[in-house]
Structure 1
Amino acid sequence: MYTIMGHHHISMITKNAQMNNRFYQKVLGLRCVKKTVNQDNPSMYHLFYGDLTGSAGTELSFFEMPIVGRTVRGTNAITQIGLLVPSFESLEYWKRRFELLDVKHGEITTYAGRAALPFEDTEGLRLMLLNNNGEKIPEHWLAWEDSLVEQKHRILGMGTVEITVRYLERTAKTLKDMLGYVEVTRSEKEAVYQSVSGQAFGEIVLKQQEGPSEKPGRGSIHHLAIRVKNEDELRHWEEMVKERGFYSSGIVDRYYFQSLYFRDSNGILFEMATDGPGFTADSTVEALGEKLDLPPFLEEKRAEIEANLKPLD
C-alpha cells in the first residue's frame, strides 16, 4: 500500500522577487537552492528556498508576479505555514531576532499542541515557527552550514500546514479516504490530520470557516505539494484521483520532480510530487541557486528569458 511521506513543498505568490530573496535568505536563513522560472509562464521567476539541497519537505517556493494585487483573505484557501525549529529556546531566539529586524510577529503561543511563534513575511504571508522539541526529522534533511542563523536555532523544514475551508468534511474525506491521512483530533470546526503518525512534517490542520473564498494576491499560498516516492507511485495516485472524480493535470514532468495536480471539492489545489531527481539534476550542491537554471526544453530560450528578468542581487 502506498502512503504519503509528508509535505514536499509549498508554493506562494510574491510581487517582488528581490525583496523575497532577501527575506528568506537574510532573515530566515534559508538557502536559495533553485533560481528558475515558472515552466508554464517563463516570464516570471520561480524561486525555491530550503536546506542544503532543497530536500523534499524543506522547500518554500515562490512565483513572482509583479502586477499582482493584495490578498483578500477568506475561506477555501491554504492559510498558514508552519516551520519547525529545534527547541522552545529557538522560539525565544527568533522572537528577539524578529524584534531586531522589524519583522511583524505575535507572542509565543500554542498551535496544534506545539509551542509556536506566528509571524508574517514582508508581503503578509502568514507563517509560524513550531517547536520540534527534539523529535525526529526526515533523514534526508541536510543543514545548510552557511546560514546566517545560529546553528542550534536554524529552521529545520516544513511543519504543520493550515487549510481553511467552507465545508470541512469534503476536504477531510479527501485526506482520509483517498490519501490515507489519519485523523488525530476532531471538533465541530477543526480537525488535525497526519500522513506520518505523530509527526508535524506531514501534518495538516483543517479549519471550517464560512464566507467568501480568499482572493489570492501577494503573500497568498497557491498550492501544497505532498511527497510520493517515485513515478510508479504517482501513477497509482493518478488513478485514485480519477476514481474520486476529481479533474487532474495528469503526470507533468517538472524536470526536478514529477508532479500531479488536482483540486478537491473545496477548490484546494494539491500537488503530488516525487522525491527525485532533485535540484542537483543540473547543478552541483555547492553551486545551487547561484545562477538561473532552466529545464532542457527552455534552454534554447535562455537569452530571451534572462532579458525579461531583473537580477535578484
Structure 2
Amino acid sequence: MYKIPGHHHISMITKNAGTNNHFYREILGLRRVKKTVNQDSPSMYHLFYGDLTGSPGTELSFFEMTNAGRTVRGTNAITQIGLLVPSLESLTYWKQRFEQLDVMHGEITTYAGREALPFEDSEGLRLILLNNNGGETPDFWATWEGSSVEQAHRILGMGPTEITVRHLERTAKTLRDLFGYAEVAYFEEEAIYQSVEGQAFGEIVLKQLEGPSEKPGRGSIHHLAIRVKNEEELRYWDGVVKERGFDSSGVIDRFYFQSLYFRDANGILFEIATDGPGFTKDSTVEALGTKLDLPPFLEGRRAEIEAKLQPID
C-alpha cells in the first residue's frame, strides 16, 4: 500500500486578488509562485504562494471570486490553516509584526500540543502559526531569499490543518482506514491524525461541531490537497476511493500536477495531487509568479482571458 507523505496544497476563496496578493506577499512574506487562472473557469485568477518554487506542502492557493459574499461559519468545513515557523521566538516576532501591520491576531497559546499564534487575513480566513521547534520538514522545501520577513522567522510551510465536522468518526475513518494516517489522539470531540507519524507537516486536526454547515464565501477554504509521488500512485488511490464508495472525479491533468477530487461522508472536499511536474514546467525559477501563465489548452485564449482580469503587481 502506498503512503501519503503530507499535504500538497490548500485552496481558498478571495474576493479581491490585489488585496490577497498584498497580504500573502508583503505581510506573510511568501513568494507568489504562480499567477494563473482557474482552469475550469478562466475568467478568475488562481494565485499560488509558497517557498522558492512552490514546493508541495508549502502552497497556499486562492481563487478570485469577485462576487463572493461573507463566509457564514459552521460545521462540515475546513476551518483553519496551520503554518509552521521555526521557534517560539518566531511567534513573538510575528505577534509584534502583526501589531505593527494591524493584522487581527490572538495571543500566543497552545494548539494541538504546540505553541501557536492564531491570526486572520484581511478577509477573515483563519490561520495559525505553530512552533515547529526543530521538527522535521521535507528536504525539498527551499527558502525564498526575497522575503521581507527576517530569515530566522520565515514561514516554513503548511502544518496542522483543521477540519470541523458534524460526525467526527466519518472523516476519521477516511483518514485512518482509507489513507493510513496515524491516529495520535482521539477524544470525544477532537482527534489528530498524521500522514507521517510524529511530524507536523502532514497533520490534520478534526473537531466535532453540531449545527448548520458553513456557508462559503470570501476567506473560506475550498479544499485540501494531499500528496502522492506520481500518476501511478494517483491512479492507485483513484481505485481505492471508488472501492470505498466515494465518487471520484477521476484523474485530471492540471498541467503543473495531476489530481483527482472526492468528497468524504461529511462532504469535505479532498484533492489528491502529484508532486510533479511543478510550477517550473513553464517558467524559470527566477521568473516564477511574475507573469500570467496559462496551460497550453488555454494559451489560444490569452487575449480574451487577460481582458477580463484586473492587473495585479
Normalised to the residue count of structure 1, the TM-score between the two structures is 1.00
Identity, in percent, stands at 80
Determine the C-alpha separation between the residues in 2 that align with 1:263 and 1:80. 18
Secondary structure (helix, strand or coil) at the match of 1:162 reads strand
Specify the code of the residue in structure 2 equivalent to 1:11.
Answer: S
Identify the residue that residue 263 of structure 1 maps to in structure 2: 263
User: Does 2:249 match 1:226?
Assistant: no
Alignment of 1:5-154 (within 5 A): 5-154=5-154
Secondary structure (helix, strand or coil) at the match of 1:223 reads strand
Alignment of 1:212-251 (within 5 A): 212-251=212-251
User: Does 2:155 match 1:155?
Assistant: yes
Determine the C-alpha separation between the residues in 2 that align with 1:196 and 1:38. 31
Secondary structure (helix, strand or coil) at the match of 1:115 reads strand
Determine the C-alpha separation between the residues in 1 that align with 2:151 and 2:221. 28
Specify the code of the residue in structure 2 equivalent to 1:126.
Answer: R
Q: Deviations over 1:30-57 (max 9, x none)?
A: 0000000000000000000000000000
Determine the C-alpha separation between the residues in 1 that align with 2:98 and 2:4. 34
Identify the residue that residue 283 of structure 1 maps to in structure 2: 283
Secondary structure (helix, strand or coil) at the match of 1:8 reads strand
Determine the C-alpha separation between the residues in 1 that align with 2:302 and 2:12. 24
Gapped regions of structure 2 (runs ≥ 5): none
Shift of 1:20: 0.1
User: Does 2:253 match 1:253?
Assistant: yes
Determine the C-alpha separation between the residues in 2 that align with 1:65 and 1:10. 16
Q: Deviations over 1:7-32 (max 9, x none)?
A: 00000000000000000000000000
Shift of 1:136: 1.4
Q: Deviations over 1:238-295 (max 9, x none)?
A: 0000011000100000000000100001000000000000000000000000000000
Aligned-residue RMSD, C-alpha: 0.4
Determine the C-alpha separation between the residues in 2 that align with 1:87 and 1:296. 42
Determine the C-alpha separation between the residues in 2 that align with 1:7 and 1:198. 15
Determine the C-alpha separation between the residues in 1 that align with 2:86 and 2:263. 33
Poorly superposed stretches of 4+, deviation over 3 Å: none
Specify the code of the residue in structure 2 equivalent to 1:23.
Answer: F
Specify the code of the residue in structure 2 equivalent to 1:212.
Answer: P
Identify the residue that residue 184 of structure 2 maps to in structure 1: 184
User: Does 2:165 match 1:165?
Assistant: yes
Secondary structure (helix, strand or coil) at the match of 1:21 reads helix
Q: Deviations over 1:85-104 (max 9, x none)?
A: 00000000000000000000
User: Does 2:210 match 1:204?
Assistant: no
Specify the code of the residue in structure 1 equivalent to 2:9.
Answer: H
Shift of 1:135: 1.1
Determine the C-alpha separation between the residues in 1 that align with 2:209 and 2:258. 33
Determine the C-alpha separation between the residues in 2 that align with 1:135 and 1:57. 15
Secondary structure (helix, strand or coil) at the match of 1:239 reads helix
Determine the C-alpha separation between the residues in 1 that align with 2:219 and 2:104. 14
Determine the C-alpha separation between the residues in 2 that align with 1:134 and 1:195. 18
User: Does 2:195 match 1:195?
Assistant: yes
Secondary structure (helix, strand or coil) at the match of 2:261 reads strand
Determine the C-alpha separation between the residues in 2 that align with 1:200 and 1:104. 24
Determine the C-alpha separation between the residues in 2 that align with 1:58 and 1:282. 19
Determine the C-alpha separation between the residues in 2 that align with 1:202 and 1:289. 26
Specify the code of the residue in structure 2 equivalent to 1:75.
Answer: T
Shift of 1:134: 1.0
Gapped regions of structure 1 (runs ≥ 5): none
Determine the C-alpha separation between the residues in 1 that align with 2:296 and 2:59. 22
Normalised to the residue count of structure 2, the TM-score between the two structures is 1.00
Q: Deviations over 1:54-86 (max 9, x none)?
A: 000000000000011000000000000000000
Determine the C-alpha separation between the residues in 1 that align with 2:146 and 2:173. 42
Determine the C-alpha separation between the residues in 2 that align with 1:278 and 1:104. 33
Q: Deviations over 1:200-228 (max 9, x none)?
A: 10000000000000000000000000000
